[in-house]
Chain A
Amino acid sequence: MRVALFITCVNDTLYPRTGQAVVTLLERLGVEVGFPDAQSCCGQPQFNTGYRHQTEPLVRRYATAFRDYDYVVTPSGSCAAMVRDNYPRIGAKAAAEGRGQELADAAAEAVPKTYELTEFLTDVLEVTDVGAYYPHTVTYHPTCHGLRMLGLGDRPRSLLAAVRGLTLVELPGAEECCGFGGTFAVKNAAVSAAMGADKARNITATGAEAVCTVDNSCQMHIGGTLARQGSTVRPVHIAEILASTEGNVW
C-alpha cells in the first residue's frame, strides 16, 4: 500500500504541526507515508471564487504528483471535497470547451484515491481506536465540506470517542457553518464575522478546553474569533488529538 500525504497549502504554510501529527499518527499505525514535493494547493480558493481556468494546472499537478500512489491522505475535509466533487467538473468543462480529454482523465485518476484523514482511518485502515490519549474536555465542530460534501458522518466522532482521557461535549448548533468560506470571509466580512461570533459563543458556552475540527482553515477563522473574544478555548485539529499519546501529549 503506497500512501502519500497531501498536506494542503494552509497546513503546510500555517499549521505544520497538523501535518507532523498526521505523519506521527500514520506511522504509529504502521503506514509508511510519502510526501511528494511536487504537490501544491488543491485550487479550491481559486475555483470557489470563480477562477476555474486558474485551477486547471493545479488539477494536472495533483494528478502527476500522486500518480505513483494507491492512496492520498489529507487532513482537510474541504480539500478532499474539492478533489472529489470539483475535479471531475473541472475536467468535464475543459473537455466541453474543446480542450481535450487530458484534464478529465487526470481528475478521474485523482478522485478515487483521495481520502480525508478520518475516512482513511475508519474506511481503509478500519480502525476507530488509534491508541490515542488526550486528557481534555473537547467539543467537536463538523466543518461544512466534511459534513455535507464528503459525508463524513460519525467518523470523526467515533475516533474521538475512543481516545482515552478525552471527554466529548456536544456543541449546540454544531452543524451550522462557522462563516469562514474561503474568500467569503473577506468579501462578506460583516456576515462572516457575525457567523463566526455566534459559533465562538456557542463553543465557549460548552465549557470545553478545546474545539476540534477536521480543517485548519475553519480552525483559523474560529480560533481567530475566539481569541478576539478573549476566550481561552483552544482550536485543535483532530490529527493532533489522535497523534497524542500517554508519553507524548501533543
Chain B
Amino acid sequence: MPSFPRAADASTRNTQLRANLRHATHTIRAKRATAVAELDDWSRLRAAGAAIKDRTLRHLDHYLERLESAVTAAGGHVHWAADAEEANRIVTELVQATGEREVVKVKSMATQEIGLNSALATAGITAYETDLAELIVQLGDDLPSHILVPAIHRNRGEIRDIFAERMAQWGRPAPEGLTDAPADLAEAARLHLREKFLNAKVGISGANFMVAETGTLVVVESEGNGRMCLTLPETLISVVGIEKVVPTFQDLEVFLQLLPRSSTAERMNPYTSTWTGTTDEDGPRAFHLVLLDNGRTDTLADTVGRQALRCIRCSACLNVCPVYERAGGHAYGSAYPGPIGAILTPQLRGTGSEVDASLPYASSLCGACYEVCPVAIDIPEVLVHLRERVVEGGPASVRGTRTVIKPAKGHAAERAAMRAARWTLDHPRVLRTGQRLASRTRRFHPRRLPGPGRAWSDTRELPRVPEESFRDWWQRTRGESRTEGRKTT
C-alpha cells in the first residue's frame, strides 16, 4: 500500500472521481446540517452519547461478560476473536459446519476490516454482498471508499455499466436495455438480490450496537436488504467489534437519534432490526456472535487515543472532510477512510507500515470532523497524539503488552530540522540575526524552493521577505526604552 500522500496525489488528478465525491459529500453535508438543526437538544444528546460510550469503555470487560451471558441465555453462541485471522477462521469453520458454500452478507465494517470475503473465498465459500452500494463494489471488483456509501466514488453511468457487464457472472443478469435511471438500477439490483435472499441458508452480519443487559444486537439500515439476511437464513453469524456494546436497551434511545441524523440526515433510519438469541419457528435456528478485538484493547489502553472507540460509524466526518473529498477513500488504505480512518487504522494496525505512519498526517487539522462528530471525538487531538508516536515513538500497547515503540523510519532529517528550529526560536537574538540575513539577501531568493519546499513553490507563489522584520521595526521606531524583557535572552 503506498503512503497516503502518494495515493492521494494520484486521486487528486482524477477529475471524474473528484466531481463524484464533491457532489455526493456536499449534498449529504447540507442535509445533515438541516437534520441536526431540527433538534434543540443536539449538543446534550451528543454529550450523552459520548458519556455512555466512555462509561462503557471504562468497564468494557464487565459489559462484555454481561453480554456474553445474556446472548448465551437467549440461545446464541459467543466466540472471542483476538485478531482478524482468528475471526476469519471461526467464521469459516462455522459456515463449513453447515455444509453450505454460499452466504449472504449484511453490509458490515467489521467484516471489511478483517477481509472476511477473501478468507471465505480461499475456503471455497462465496459471500454475496446484499447492500446496494456493497454490491456495486463487489461486482466492480473494487474496494469500498466510504463507510456508509462504499460506492460513493461511482456515478450512475458507471454503475449501469458495472451492472450490465458483471451481474450475469454472479447470478441473475441485468435486464436488457438497462438505463442509468435510479429506479431502473434499483430494480435490477432487487431482482438480482432476491434470488440470493431466497436461497441462502447462512447470513453474515455485523451490528451497530449490542445491548449488554439483554444480549440484543441492532442493525440500522435504509434498504431492508439487511433485514432479509437477518431473518431468512437458518444460521446467522454476526461479527462485531467489542467496542459496540452499550449497557442497557434504554441507551439506544440516544444513539438511534444521533446516528441517522448524522449519517443519512434522516430523522429515523427506515429499518431498525434487533435480534436476541434464537426463537423457535421464527428467524435463524442458530445464532453465533463473534466478538472481535483486532487491536481494540490496545487502543483502549491509550488514554488519548481511546476516544476513537466511541465511533458509531456514521461517516459524518468523511462527508465534511476537505481532505477526504479530494483524496477519495481508497487513499487511506483501509476499510476505514476519512478522518476516523486516519485515527483508527494506525491504532488498530500500529504505525509500522508506510501507509499507517502517513495516516495521522492526512489532515490539515481544520477541525470540521470534530465539529460534526455525534459522539464528540476530538479527531484533531488524536491525530496530533499519533503524529507524536510516529516521529518520537513512545509508550504504546501492542497486542496487549505495554512496550515503548521506536519512531517510524524516515523522519531523521525532519527531527533534526525541528530541533534546530526549536533552538533558534528559543534564542530570539539568533532568530533576529537570521531574519536580518534573510532581509539582506532578499533580492537573491529563488522563486522555486529546493527539497521538501518544492511542494510549496510548485503551486504557490512564495511571499517576499520584507526589508525589515517587525522586531527590528519596533526597535528602530520605539527604541530601547519601551522594549521590555530583553534580559531574559
**A contacts, CB < 8 Å to B:** 7, 9, 11-17, 19-20, 23, 34-41, 43, 45-55, 57-58, 61, 64-65, 68, 89, 144-145, 147-149, 175-177, 179-197, 220-221, 223-225, 227-228
Residues of chain A within 8 A of B428, CB atoms compared: 37-40
Chain A residue contacts of B326, Cβ below 8 A:
190-191, 194-195
Residues of B within 8 Å of A180, CB to CB, are 364
Specify the chain B residue showing the minimal Cβ separation from A10: B463
Q: Which residues of B contact A228 (CB under 8 A)?
A: 459-461
CA distance A188 to B12 in the complex (A): 11
Identify which of B366, B458, B488 contacts A38 (C-beta below 8 A): B488
Over the window 11-24 of chain B, the binary record of Cβ atoms lying under 8 Å from chain A Cβ atoms (1 yes, 0 no) is 01100001000000
Q: Contact check, A189 vs B422: say whether CB atoms are below 8 A apart.
A: no
Contact of A16 among B4, B327, B469 (CB under 8 A): B469
Tell me if B418 and A49 are in contact (CB < 8 A).
Answer: yes
Interface: B256 (CB within 8 A): no
**Which residues on the A side are within 8 Å of B456 (C-beta)?**
185-186, 189, 224
Are B465 and A14 closer than 8 Å at their CB atoms? yes
CB interface residues, B 368-386, toward A, < 8 Å: 368, 370-371, 381, 384, 386
B387 to chain A, nearest CB (A): 3
Task: Report A-chain residues with C-beta under 8 Å of the C-beta of B469.
Answer: 12-13, 16
With A12-B471, A50-B392, A184-B365: A35-B478 Cβ-Cβ less than 8 Å: yes
Contacting residues, chain A, for B466 (C-beta < 8 A): 14-17
Q: Name the one of B9, B418, B435, B482 contacting A51, with C-beta atoms under 8 angstroms.
A: B418
Shortest Cβ distance from B426 into A: residue: A57
Of the A-B pairs whose beta carbons lie under 8 Å apart in the complex, a sample of 18, sorted by A's number, is: A13-B438, A15-B466, A16-B466, A16-B469, A16-B470, A23-B474, A38-B489, A40-B426, A50-B389, A50-B391, A64-B485, A64-B488, A149-B367, A181-B365, A188-B323, A195-B323, A224-B456, A227-B461
Q: Are A181 and B366 in contact (CB under 8 A)?
A: yes
* A-facing residues in B389-407 (Cβ within 8 Å): 389-392
Residues of B437-489 contacting chain A, CB below 8 A: 438, 452-453, 455-456, 458-463, 465-466, 468-471, 473-475, 478, 482-486, 488-489
A37 touches B484 (CB 8 A): yes
Contacts of B71 in A (CB 8 A): none
User: Are A177 and B368 in contact (CB-based, < 8 A)?
Assistant: yes
B93 interface contact, C-beta 8 A: no
A191 to B370, CA, bound (A): 20
* B61 vs chain A, min Cβ distance (A): 24
Q: How many chain-B residues does the 8 Å CB contact rule pick out?
A: 70
Bound-state Cα–Cα, A104 to B223, Å: 52
Residues of B within 8 A of A40 (CB): 425-426, 428, 431
Does B55 touch A at the CB level, under 8 Å? Answer: no
Contact A20 to B473, CB < 8 A, known contacts A38-B489, A194-B12: yes
Q: Are the C-beta atoms of A144 and B364 separated by less than 8 Å? A: yes
Contacts of B425 in A (CB 8 A): 9, 40-41, 43, 58
Q: Residues of B contacting A36 with CB < 8 Å? A: 483-485
Query: Which B residues are CB-close (under 8 A) to A221?
Result: 460
Neighbouring A residues of B392 by C-beta, 8 Å: 50-53
Given A35-B478, A194-B326: A46 touches B422 (CB 8 Å cut-off): yes
Interface check B41, CB cutoff 8 A: no
- Known contacts A12-B470, A16-B466, A65-B485: A54-B461 contact under CB 8 Å: no
Q: Which of A13, A37, A49, A194 contacts B435 (CB 8 A)?
A: A13
CB interface residues, B 307-336, toward A, < 8 Å: 322-323, 326-327
A191 CA / B484 CA spacing, docked (Å)? 43
Contacts of A7 in B (CB 8 A): 470-471
Chain B residue nearest to A20 in the complex (CB): B473
A54 touching B419 in the complex, CB below 8 Å, given contacts A35-B474, A191-B327, A196-B459: yes
Which of B12, B361, B426, B482 is close to A58, meaning CB atoms less than 8 Å apart?
B426
- List, in ascending order, chain B residues with CB within 8 A of A192's CB: 364, 455
* Pair B418/A46 contact, Cβ less than 8 Å: yes
- Give the contacting residue for B361; candidates A175, A184, A223; CB below 8 A: A184
**Distance A144 CA – B8 CA, assembled complex (angstroms):** 22
Asked if B121 CB lies within 8 Å of chain A CBs, one says no
Q: How far is the CA of A13 from the CA of B485 in the complex (A)?
A: 20
Chain B residues near A23 (CB-CB < 8 A): 474
A179/B322 in contact, CB under 8 A? yes
Check B5 against A49 for contact (C-beta < 8 Å): no
Q: Verify B483–A49 contact, CB threshold 8 A.
A: no
Q: Give, as a whole number of angstroms, the nearest-CB distance from B386 to chain A.
A: 8
Nearest CB in chain A to that of B320: its residue: A176
Q: In the bound complex, how far is the Cα of B231 from the Cα of A133, in angstroms? A: 70
Interface centre among A9, A54, A179 (most CB of B within 10 A): A54
Does residue B415 face the partner (Cβ distance < 8 Å to A)? yes
Would you call A196 and B460 a contact (CB within 8 A)? yes
Is B465 a contact partner of A13 (Cβ separation < 8 A)?
yes
Contact B435 A48 (CB under 8 A): no
The complex places the Cα of A36 from the Cα of B480 at a distance, in Å, of 11
Chain B residues closer than 8 Å to A184, beta-carbon distance: 361, 363-365
Excluding A19-B470, A54-B419, A188-B362, 6 further A-B contacts by CB distance (< 8 Å) are A144-B364, A176-B366, A179-B364, A182-B365, A194-B326, A227-B461
Quick check: B418 and A195 within 8 Å, CB to CB? no
> Which residues in A have their C-beta under 8 angstroms from that of B322?
176-177, 179, 195
A49 touches B484 (CB 8 A): no
Complex Cα–Cα for A196 and B460 (A): 9
With A54-B419, A189-B5 as known contacts, state yes or no: A177 contacts B366, CB within 8 Å.
Answer: yes
**Minimum C-beta distance from A205 to chain B (A):** 16
**Cα(A51)–Cα(B9), bound, Å:** 26
Instruction: Find out whether the CB atom of B388 lies under 8 angstroms from the CB atom of A50.
Output: yes
- B362, B422, B475, B485: the one within 8 Å of A54 (CB): B422
**A49 in complex: contacting residue of B4, B9, B366, B414, CB < 8 Å:** B414
Please name all residues of chain A whose beta carbon is closer than 8 Å to the beta carbon of B391 when the two chains form the complex: 49-51
* Closest CB in chain B relative to A206 CB, distance in Å: 19
The 9 closest A-B CB pairs, nearest first, are A181-B364, A224-B460, A50-B387, A189-B455, A36-B485, A177-B366, A19-B470, A148-B367, A144-B366
**Nearest neighbor of A12 in chain B, beta-carbon distance:** B470
Tell me how far the C-beta of A179 lies from the nearest C-beta in chain B, rounded to whole angstroms.
6
Query: Nearest chain A CB to B488's CB is how many angstroms away?
Result: 4
Most A CB atoms within 10 A — which of B5, B389, B452? Answer: B5
